């Protein structure tokens, strides 16, 4: 299932660590947004890794599970980001 992860991380070191982790699962499409195509069984592991990478009292991470038709129904405005893996985008 297509998954979007958006974050607001205060500390540079934690932000870089989370960015590196998310890059292992998908592709950055905005400065603080990653898109990935995850199997349902991968999500719990990713959540645990995110929780270990951030400060739960200061940082914020949002995970959006999107239905398959969300990509076809999405609209992209402005400069496009080159996505090498899959042809899906969130705006």
The pTM of this model reads 0.81
Say what the pLDDT of residue 91 is.
39
Domain 2-73 maps to which CATH number in 3.20.20.70, 3.40.50.300, 3.30.70.240, 3.30.70.20?
3.30.70.240
Report the distance separating Cα 73 and Cα 59, nearest Å. Answer: 30
Q: How far is CA 91 from CA 41, 73, 79, in A?
A: 26, 11, 11
Q: What is the mean pLDDT of each run of 10 residues along the chain (91 residues)?
A: 94 97 94 93 96 96 90 79 54 39
The residue written with tokens 């982790």 in the block is: 21
Number of C-beta neighbours around residue 91 at 10 A: 10
């Amino acid at each position: 299932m297509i998954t979007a992860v958006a974050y607001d991380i205060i500390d540079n070191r934690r932000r870089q660590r989370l960015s590196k982790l998310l890059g292992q699962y998908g592709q950055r499409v905005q400065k603080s947004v990653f898109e990935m195509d995850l199997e349902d069984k991968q999500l719990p592991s990713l959540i645990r890794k995110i929780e270990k990478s951030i400060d739960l009292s200061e940082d914020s991470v949002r995970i959006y599970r999107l239905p398959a038709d969300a990509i076809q129904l999405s609209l992209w405005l402005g400069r496009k980001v080159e996505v090498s893996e899959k042809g899906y985008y969130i705006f």
